[in-house]
């Protein structure tokens, strides 16, 4: 006797044998049991989820010799002929090969005739979305008002291509993709019944590779049994499917947790020697990160790999896992645009390490603090400490000035700190920032304005500056402003110098970073200094 593939041998013969799709089976069973049958049914869903199988079971239920029932006997001639695909009143049409309007008209010419043997003449049209527009027009009238002895069962993987006029004339049932657990349970059942030696890991791999399709899962099962010589082992199934050895994923996760760039690149190199697909490697890493994130939210979600997952839960923070996952998803999207898949994967992994948040006490790329500022002429501290708003001043407010020294009139606060707290805005602020305090004696204050900024000086701005100084110090000020070359550094120059020093320190810190050096050595990369910004 010739061998029958598992997908056909184990095709469900009644509704009770169906795996999943309870949301479709239940209304069909109720309709059959209560005699409330529509004349047209549309089954939609991805490949291999049971559209045609449910349609054939429904045809059997309609024509079983015991009567219309949700539980066909499977023993009568009608049931057996439907199972064997030779029931004369079940007309199966492949719309993909019969798209022309003439084919549809020829099919419909026989609708008016009574069934030959069964109770109903059932038209099962598979991939109905492939019919042409004229074919749909020819079908519409019959589909809306068929003879009482005719039922239409339509199946499609792409319902969006069906005209709304067809959709409105059918009861539509959308079949779902089957979860991995249901496919694995069915594979387990079949292997036990067939007496095939197997392990749990191989079943899980096949169920995941089925991608929601039971038929694909059983086809892969047939292939795996042949590949393994009548038995299933996880390494052989993994080799057949070309899936990634979890040891590589474990090595990548450990290297990420440790921030070890060398270990990451070595793992990629080892995977290359095995000829592994880089896109698949990144996909498996993302799946592992997803399992870790679920376990961090609830330990009960760790799944079958609970111990291994929980080890990574302790080694990685939730923030790190989310960051790695997001970088990985972006890298997966950009992988086709990389010069080659390996470099794209390596850059994605390096980004995960380079942008990993620093932990408490961990030294990362930082900008050294600016050198102490040179001593400059200072202004007197205020006699009272009025509340001055500084939101309009972009220069960071300095700490409150120390109290002035007694009996000498010597200023005790740095001029740049005073200017920062005056609450000035616009051109008046620019005027103050480009001056230095030349002399202060018993309320008489002399400021020197840089010659290059002479256009800032006028009576109105000088009066505004004098008013702000008097409000700040709480006493009258005799202000004198003159053009010249300040002997000390103005607040504007001091700010510019500090910014330059911070920028240079940031550039140097990036140049000294070991991760950046690794990128430069590995990929001959270059750093663009213009893109570097010091930490605020």
pLDDT value at residue 302: 64
Architecture of domain 6-174: 3-Layer(aba) Sandwich (3.40)
Q: What is the 3-class SS of 452-487, one letter each residue?
A: HHHHHCCHHHHHHHHHHHHHHHCCCCEEEEEEECCC
Q: Which fold has domain 246-354?
A: Zinc Finger, Delta Prime; domain 3 (1.20.272)
pLDDT value at residue 368: 41
pLDDT value at residue 304: 58
pLDDT value at residue 42: 94
pLDDT tens for 281-334 read 899 899 889 988 888 888 777 665 656 677 788 888 888 899 999 999 999 999
Q: Looking at 18-22, 67-71, 354-358, which range is the least confident one? A: 354-358
Using a pLDDT cut of 70, give the percent of the chain over it: 87
pLDDT value at residue 52: 92
Assign 148 to helix, strand or coil.
coil
Crossing angle (nearest 10°) for helices 22-34 and 51-63: 10
N-term to C-term CA, the chain: 79
CB 123 within 8 A of CB 152: yes
pLDDT value at residue 228: 87
pLDDT tens for 22-68 read 999 999 999 999 989 999 999 999 989 999 999 999 999 999 999 99
513 exposure class (CB count in 10 Å sphere: 0-12, 13-18, 19+): middle
Q: How confident is the model at residue 372 (pLDDT cuts 50, 70, 90)?
A: very low
Region 171-177: mean pLDDT is 92
Region 165-180: mean pLDDT is 91
Q: Using CA of residue 134, residue 136, residue 139, residue 140, what is the dihedral sign?
A: negative
Q: How confident is the model at residue 424 (pLDDT cuts 50, 70, 90)?
A: confident
Q: How confident is the model at residue 536 (pLDDT cuts 50, 70, 90)?
A: low
pLDDT value at residue 402: 38
In this predicted structure, the answer to whether residue 407 has a pLDDT above a threshold of 80 is no
pLDDT value at residue 28: 94
What does pLDDT average to over the chain? 83
Domain boundaries, the chain: 6-174, 180-241, 246-354, 496-531
Q: Which CATH number fits domain 180-241: 3.30.70.20, 1.10.110.30, 1.10.10.10, 1.10.8.60?
A: 1.10.8.60
pLDDT value at residue 96: 80
Using a pLDDT cut of 90, give the percent of the chain over it: 29
Q: How confident is the model at residue 396 (pLDDT cuts 50, 70, 90)?
A: very low
User: Token pair of 137, please?
Assistant: 């027009």
pLDDT value at residue 394: 38
Q: How confident is the model at residue 357 (pLDDT cuts 50, 70, 90)?
A: low
CB 340 within 8 A of CB 523: no
Q: How confident is the model at residue 192 (pLDDT cuts 50, 70, 90)?
A: very high
pLDDT tens for 221-235 read 999 999 888 889 888
Phi-psi region at 480: left, alpha or beta (left = phi > 0; alpha = psi -120 to 50): beta
pLDDT value at residue 41: 94
Q: Dmax over Cα atoms in the chain, in whole Å?
A: 124
Q: Looking at 21-30, 375-384, 390-399, 477-486, which range is the least confident one? A: 390-399
Crossing angle (nearest 10°) for helices 261-273 and 341-354: 160
């Amino acid at each position: 006797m010739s061998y029958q593939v598992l997908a056909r041998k184990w095709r469900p013969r009644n509704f009770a044998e169906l795996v999943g799709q309870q949301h479709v089976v239940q209304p069909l069973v109720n309709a059959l049991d209560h005699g409330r049958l529509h004349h047209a049914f549309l089954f939609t869903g991805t490949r291999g989820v049971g559209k045609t199988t449910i349609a054939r079971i429904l045809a059997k239920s309609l024509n079983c010799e015991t009567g219309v029932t949700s539980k066909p006997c499977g023993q009568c001639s009608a049931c057996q002929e439907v199972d064997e695909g030779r029931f004369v009143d079940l007309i199966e049409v492949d719309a993909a090969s019969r798209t022309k309007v003439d084919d549809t008209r020829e099919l419909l010419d026989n609708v008016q005739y009574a069934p030959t043997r069964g109770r109903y003449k059932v038209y099962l049209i598979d991939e109905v979305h492939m019919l042409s527009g004229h074919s749909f027009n020819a079908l519409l009238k019959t589909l809306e008002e068929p003879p009482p002895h005719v039922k239409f069962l339509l199946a499609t993987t792409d319902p969006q291509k069906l005209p709304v006029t067809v959709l409105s004339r059918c009861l539509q049932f959308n079949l779902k993709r089957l979860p991995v657990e249901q496919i694995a349970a069915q594979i387990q059942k079949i292997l036990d019944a067939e007496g095939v030696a197997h392990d749990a890991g191989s079943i899980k791999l096949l169920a995941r590779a089925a991608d929601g399709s039971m038929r694909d899962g059983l086809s892969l099962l047939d292939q795996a049994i042949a590949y393994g010589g009548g038995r299933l082992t996880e390494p052989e199934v993994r080799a057949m499917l070309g899936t990634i050895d979890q040891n590589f994923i474990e090595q990548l996760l450990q290297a990420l947790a440790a921030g070890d760039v060398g270990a990451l690149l070595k793992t990629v190199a080892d995977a290359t020697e095995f000829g592994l697909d880089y896109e698949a490697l990144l996909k498996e890493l993302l799946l592992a990160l997803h399992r870790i994130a679920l376990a961090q939210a609830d330990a009960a979600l760790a799944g079958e790999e609970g111990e291994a997952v929980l080890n990574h839960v302790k080694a990685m923070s939730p923030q790190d896992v989310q960051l790695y996952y997001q970088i990985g998803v972006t890298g997966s999207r950009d992988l086709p645009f990389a010069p080659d898949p390996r470099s794209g994967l390596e850059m994605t992994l390096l980004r995960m390490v380079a942008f990993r948040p620093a932990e408490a006490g961990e030294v990362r790329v930082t900008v050294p603090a600016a050198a102490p500022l040179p001593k400059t002429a200072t202004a007197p501290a205020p006699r009272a400490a009025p509340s001055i708003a500084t939101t309009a001043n972009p220069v960071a407010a300095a700490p409150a000035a120390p109290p002035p020294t007694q009996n000498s009139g010597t200023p005790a606060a740095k001029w740049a700190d005073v200017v920062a707290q005056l609450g000035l805005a616009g051109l008046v602020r620019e005027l103050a920032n480009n001056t230095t305090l030349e002399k202060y004696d018993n309320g008489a204050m002399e400021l020197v304005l840089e010659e290059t900024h002479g256009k800032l000086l006028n009576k109105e701005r000088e009066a505004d500056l004098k008013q702000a100084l008097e409000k700040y110090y709480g006493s009258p000020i005799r202000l004198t402003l003159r053009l010249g070359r300040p002997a000390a550094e103005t607040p504007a120059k001091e700010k510019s110098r500090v910014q330059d020093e911070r920028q240079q320190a940031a550039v140097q810190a990036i140049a000294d970073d070991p991760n950046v050096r690794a990128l430069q050595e590995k990929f001959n990369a270059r750093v663009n200094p213009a893109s570097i910004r010091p930490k605020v």
